[in-house]
Amino acid sequence: MAKLGNPQETIAVLQKYGFHFQKKFGQNFLIDPRVLEKIIRAAGVTKEDFVLEIGPGIGTMTQYLAEAAREVTAVEIDRNLIPILEETLGEYDNVNVICDDILKVDIAALAREKNGGKPIKVVANLPYYITTPIIMGLFERQVPLDNITVMVQKEVADRMQAGPGSKDYGALSLTVQYYAEAYIAAFVPPNCFIPRPGVGSAVIRLTRHKEPPVDCRDTALLFRLIRASFNQRRKTLVNSLHNSPELSFSKEEIQGAVLALGLSPSVRGEALSLAQFAALADILSAGR
C-alpha cells in the first residue's frame, strides 16, 4: 500500500471504494505530509508510546503514527471506512482499529490494557461540531493522559488558549486551562484537506497538568460558576450567576462573594481569571 498523505493517493483510495463523505461526521481528510509530520512532532510521539487516535478517516495520520509509536489504537465511527482502513493499514502490525463512537469507549480501560495504566498520548483530527465534547470527555473522565494533540477549527484553538478580557475568552478557555497547558503548534489552511473546509484549522497540543493550577474545594461548583458566567456573557457576573438554573445562591450571597474578592458588583465574568473563579467558588461554598 502506498503511503497516504498526498491528494493523488487519497483520491485513488476514495474512488476505489466509492467512498462518499458524510456531512454528519464532519469528514475532512489531510493531504499535506508536512502538516502530518508537524502533528507527530507536536505530540512528541516516540517508540515508547501507546497512541490513541480519534477519527483516523482513511488511515493517513495512522500510517505516520504507526511508524513513530510502539502501538496505535484508532477509533473510527464511520463503518464505511473500516474496509478502507483494513487495506491502508494492512502492512502495520502495531495498529488496532475499533469501529465505535469515542464518547462510548472506555478509554481508561484501554490505557490499562495497552499501556499498563500509564498516561497515553491522544492524536485527533476532530470534526468541529464535536471537538469540545470529546476533549472535555477525555479530561473529565479522569483518563490517564500525557497530552492531546488535535486538529481543530482555528477559532476553537484560539478560544482554548485565550486569557481574561479577550473576545475569545470563555468557558472553554477556562475549562481547558484548568486541566492542561495549551500550545498552538501550527496553523493549517483549508487547501490541506479533501474536501476543503470553509475555515482555517490549527494543531493545538494540550499537555495535561500534573496538578491543577488552582486549588478549589469544590470543582463541580467551580465549573458551574464558569458555565453560568458565560451563558449570558453581556450581563454582569452577579446577574449571570443569579439567573442560572444550575445555581441556588441568592443575589445577596453572590454580591457579597464578588465584593469579598475585591471586585466591582458590575464586573462581567469575562474579566475573571481561573484563580479568581476558584476563589469565588471557595467563598460561596464556605457560606453554605
Domain annotation covers residue 213: no
- The rounded average pLDDT for each run of 10 residues, N- to C-terminus, in the chain (288 residues) is 78 85 74 93 97 95 97 95 95 97 93 95 86 89 92 93 94 95 95 89 96 95 96 91 95 96 96 98 88
Question: Is residue 108 located within the same domain as residue 170?
Answer: yes
Question: Is residue 14 located within the same domain as residue 66?
Answer: yes
Question: Is residue 196 located within the same domain as residue 141?
Answer: yes
**Residue 40: which CATH number?**
3.40.50.150
Question: Which of 165, 182, 208 represents a domain boundary (last residue)?
Answer: 208
Question: Is residue 69 located within the same domain as residue 17?
Answer: yes
Dump pLDDT digits (tens) for 119-154: 999 999 887 778 888 998 899 888 899 999 999 999
Domain count, the chain: 2
Domain that holds residue 118: 7-208
Dump pLDDT digits (tens) for 218-267: 999 999 999 999 988 889 999 999 999 999 999 999 999 999 999 999 99
Amino acid (1-letter code) at residue 253 = E
Question: Is residue 199 located within the same domain as residue 224?
Answer: no
Q: What is the pLDDT of residue 58?
A: 93
Question: Is residue 261 located within the same domain as residue 169?
Answer: no
8 Å CB contact between 25 and 127: yes
